[in-house]
Structure 1
């Protein structure tokens, strides 16, 4: 049976008969007019759910996970300010509808129905997804993920306090704003959510300002799995550093009163709170969900009898704000309006081509105040004795440190965050002295949780900062890569470029650390990053390039709002020599602060045409060693350092290899899923014939003397090059 039709008819029959559920006495400071407004928002949310199912049956709508049973969230919206950023659960249509009443010029029914119809006129996603969200309403759109928005909500809340002390150029949130994030009871158990709660409590426990309101909408079930009764309250009532509030989400007066108390607590104390809102789920999980196949019919009927709209009609009648007949008229009028508006919305245009769909993948550029770089006086004061050392060649880790210093001098909105980046200066000393130079506000020692580090960065970017999070080792990224894939990189796409979270994510990675740590400290797989649309991946092979590419990465984040992954080869951090001990062939002087390497520009060593070696990172270092041997055998070659791994610098690579008879790809990543696969395809599709590749073995890296056994070597590169040249004769 169609439960939506049953709930609809029950509402009509019971209101007409005066058969309304009982509830607590009404206690509210809201006016009668405001309570009627909340009821209207609830009814519009309900009728939009019903309309979405009609649209789907007609092949004109594409999303039916609705908000029925959660309409009490309209009262939560009324308890907050429209400038309090809200990261919403996908059942929060009533919240967005009521917030639209707080902001002039909104046409919320039209906007949401365009989204249901996946029309390119949809003002939120431009027809790419049905999402709740609005730039005007301070609601960044979310996809249907499992509480993965909570870490970035915590980051946004942290940024509010930080912005008071270091006001970023593109600050979005007022000084007294709070941040709200809502989610379901089932999602509260997810490791991502638990990490966010823990981070909030950890931060608050140290008396660091964190104006964060978590809102758990507890309907007692996660798709088909019941939440144990009392579990949410037991889990969250006594968390250190976080105040717990509870309300009956079926009662809009109580929900508004308690939500106002929670919001006031967060705003005044700048500490997190957990608002536990008891709701019901009506219609099942989605339009395709047959709830009766896994749930007792009596339990379904009990929830339907507790329809929050019935409770709202009772409340309005008790205080004399609205009669039952007037409540029914509002319901019928809203139904008719949704039908009329939907009939227009389904006729609006849709995305048609690939170029239409990808148009929002790359965020728009933004205006930034011009900068002339740090002054000599500022640099002398901050660098101190390091200034004299800049006249001498240095290893990569030190040059990156100096580049970070110059960038933080130039751009006050840059903040570095990660495990051990402050006091210790990072595992490899790359961030040494930064905390002393710029303070704990801008060099943040985080707790040990990669999801929270990336969430902090994403949330801070929402408020105008340029975050530079650090992941200690590439393998550690796998604990949290969905924060890049599912949140950071998708936000411009799903918001039609209206929302962005630019950042430069620094990761120490790749192999060749001698006998240290095995796979978790020598990880040679970038596949997880390379297949995320819109993400830029930079991988320098030497210190001078690293400094100049890092500057370009910050420019890309600051001016073009891009998400940049800056991969730093660990084994090359301390590298001094190239061909022999003491030759200092891999050390470089620090490039002046105005120099950078543009996105897509490759590096070329040599001009020979017999052979082109295409590589990056450690491969460029090893290929330079191989090149010396090959030149001694009469081979005229060039070694090309890709530098930028995504997007692949195709035109530059084709241009720089055009004159070469053979091409050898040297890829330190594994044979499967490595850059070499794309490079082989690129050259083959361009008609190149003599191509080969040297890659790592499809295996994890061992600890001890066998650390390099599965990785390319200079000797192996030399041999592969000679065999390729011989075969080309």
Structure 2
């Protein structure tokens, strides 16, 4: 027999006979009315779990990681306000059911069963996935990546205090809202959880407002691995800056009391707290998990004997709120409702086409207040002496700095964060003086943790800010790439465009730094970014382009709610000369603040029949090679893609009109590089002969061989001549 049916039968029989588990008497501030509401939410969560398992067995449901045993989370929800943003553990069906009871007009049974059935009418994901969440309930959807939601919860909590000082146009949370983030005891050991909790403690230790309630749902096991008894308390009870609370999750009165105390502490003190809730796990990890294969029967039977609903029925009976027969009647009423609604939802439409599935990969546009930009007086005050230099040619790092200054003047919701972006002004000086111009609130020097940097940005995007995080080097992104892949880029997809976390992520990257850092500071692979659906990847090659593309990146984030990544070629930050020493050929003057390069707009230099298609450092080297080729009578055009994702196919094809041959030059590795997509495009959409020159499949060395594995001025010219002379 399915263990869900075993537990159901035992609950009915034990309540009917008055055979309740022992426990403390009901005590605390919970009223009879609220206690009844919590019990109803618990019964609903339990019956939704049972119905999901039956739907799956009938081929009509697709998700059975249930919440049974975690019904105590309904009491946590009751202790919070509906405007408190909640990032939920995937076992928090009871929390969502209880919050639905707090928000008039919601229909939790219908909504959650539509989700189980993956119907297009599911109000959260539109049938794309079964995830907890609701726009009306202020619950963003979560992925199944363990603990990946904790860093963004820290960011969302930080944004509450920041919004008091710099109010964003699209603010979501109230000034006294708190953020709740729940997770399992096994998840608390994940490096992502450890990093996020450490970030919260680090922040609170400095008395920075951070109204965040961590809730650890401790059922003593992670799939098949037991959590050592006492481990969670030993690990979290004494952390600096983090107040520890413990509640018996089997006791709705105790859980409500402690959760209320913890929430009050967080709301009044603006400091993080850790609520440790002791629970049990019923039915195994998921519907497909056979716990009897790795647990002795007496272990899970002991958990079943401590069924939270049995404890709730006992407590409500002892408190004079519900007699046993009334508790059973509510349970049966809710089961009947779930059965009736389930029979209807399985008839509702489901996704059928790729177009339907992909409709929410790109977020919807949102209306934004128009702005004429900063006044000349504001610009003069911010730029000071730099203003006189705007008409003089400058390298990329200086022009980017000025573009960031204008953008932060124009949009108060733009906030930058990262390692050393503030006082130091960035490793390469790109953010110099910005902390003096805009203050530490908007130029946040973070701790050295890339997951926390991106989580801070994602969470702030939830509350209306336009965050601009910086990762110091491309190779460092890999410590935190799931914050992009599993969190930022999937939010619109899983919420049908209802939740978004716009951002502009700046990454110093690519190769050609002379003798500095080797691979860890010269990473010439963008594959990890290119295959993430929905994100925009920008890669400028000269300072004026960088300034104008950065303006478009911010517009895309602010107005179109996109997740944008600008990869800034490190080697080109200081580059001044092009063909000869001190010729200043790669510098440019600062483009007027209203000028930008639109997404998909490529750059073309020259009109020759031999086209060189490239980006980033490749444009610089190809421009040098083009000068050498011209001396041999070979006229070229250098096409700079500028935008690496989505691939600017129309712009590229238009730039190739009249070309007789095409050489693709790619500074990234041969395997997994842009050149693969470009070669496919040329093969599929043109009849022009083409070839490619890409970097070797190798890491980058330090010292004199820093560029040995990548295209060079000479190798580009050689490859171009070979292609041009080939019949």
Match of 1:648 in 2: 647
Match of 2:567 in 1: 567
Inter-partner Cα distance in structure 2 for 1:440 and 1:687: 52
CA distance in 2, matches of 1:188, 1:35: 29
Distance 1:658 1:232 in 2: 65
Cα offset, 1:31, TM superposition: 1.9
CA drift of 1:28 comes to: 2.4
State yes or no: 1:326 paired with 2:357. no
Q: Is the 8 A contact 2:659 2:688 kept in 1?
A: no
Which position in structure 1 is the counterpart of 2:121?
A: 121
Alignment of 1:449-528 (within 5 A): 449-528=449-528
Trace 1:545-556 onto structure 2 (pairs within 5 A).
Answer: 545-556=545-556
1:89 maps to what in 2?
89
Report the Cα offset of residue 608 of structure 1.
Answer: 1.4
Aligned-pair distance for 1:139?
A: 0.3
Partner in structure 2 of residue 668 of structure 1: 667
How far did 1:689 drift?
4.6
Between the aligned partners of 1:583 and 1:330, the Cα distance in structure 2 is: 83
Displacement after TM superposition at 1:143 (Å): 1.4
Secondary structure in 2 aligned to 1:705?
A: coil
Deviation at 1:250, TM superposition (A): 0.4
1:48 — aligned with what?
48
Show the counterpart of 2:437.
437
Q: Aligned with 2:129: secondary structure? A: coil
| 1:59-110 deviation per Cα after TM superposition (whole angstroms, max 9, x unaligned) | 0000000000000000000000000000000000000010011111000100
2:262 corresponds to 1:262:
yes
Matched residue, 2:627: 628
User: How is 1:280-679 mapped onto 2 (pairs within 5 angstroms)?
Assistant: 280-609=280-609, 611-679=610-678
Distance 2:638 2:506 in 1: 26
Question: In the TM superposition, what is the alpha-carbon distance from 1:636 to its structure 2 partner?
Answer: 2.1
Task: Please say if residues 626 and 635 of structure 2, whose CA atoms lie closer than 8 Å, have aligned partners that are also in contact.
Answer: no
What residue in structure 1 maps to residue 252 of structure 2?
252
Aligned with 1:695: secondary structure?
A: strand
Deviation of 1:658 after TM superposition, in Å, equals: 2.9
| TM-fit CA distance, 1:525 | 0.3
User: In the aligned structure 2, how far is the partner of 1:95 from the partner of 1:198?
Assistant: 26
- Counterpart of 1:33 in structure 2 is 33
Deviations 1:466-511 (A, max 9, x none): 0000000000000000000000000000000000000000000000
Taking structure 1 as the reference length, what is the TM-score of the superposition? 0.99
In 1, the alpha carbon distance for the partners of 2:466 and 2:18 equals 57
Match of 1:272 in 2: 272
Distance in 2 between residues matched to 1:706 and 1:285, nearest whole Å: 52
Q: Secondary structure at the match of 1:41?
A: helix
1: distance between equivalents of 2:686 and 2:413?
A: 47
Native 8 Å contact 2:65 2:287 kept in 1: yes
Q: Helix, strand or coil for the counterpart of 1:277?
A: strand
Number of residue pairs matched? 727
Residue of structure 1 in register with 2:722 after alignment: 723
Residue number in structure 2 paired with 1:699: 698
Separation in 1 of the partners of 2:166 and 2:261? 29
C-alpha displacement at 1:420, in angstroms?
0.3
Match in the other structure for 2:176:
176
1:615-669 per-residue CA deviation (whole Å, 9 max, x = no partner) reads 0000000000000111111112210000000000011111211311111000000
- Per the alignment, residue 680 of structure 2 pairs with 681
Aligned-residue offset at 1:36: 1.1
* Separation in 1, partners of 2:24, 2:393: 76
Unpaired runs of at least 5, structure 1? none
Stretch deviating more after TM superposition (671-680 or 326-335): 326-335
The SS at the match of 1:342 is: helix
CA offsets 1:104-149 (integer angstroms, 9 cap, x no match):
1000100000000000000000000000001111000001120100
- Asked if 1 retains the 8 angstrom alpha-carbon contact of 2:152 and 2:456, the reply is yes
TM-score by length of 2: 1.00
Describe the SS at the equivalent of 1:183.
strand
Per-residue displacement from partner, 1:545-581 (whole Å, max 9, x unpaired)? Answer: 0000000000000000000001100000000000000
Q: CA deviation at 1:725?
A: 1.1
The offset of 1:366, in angstroms, is 0.3
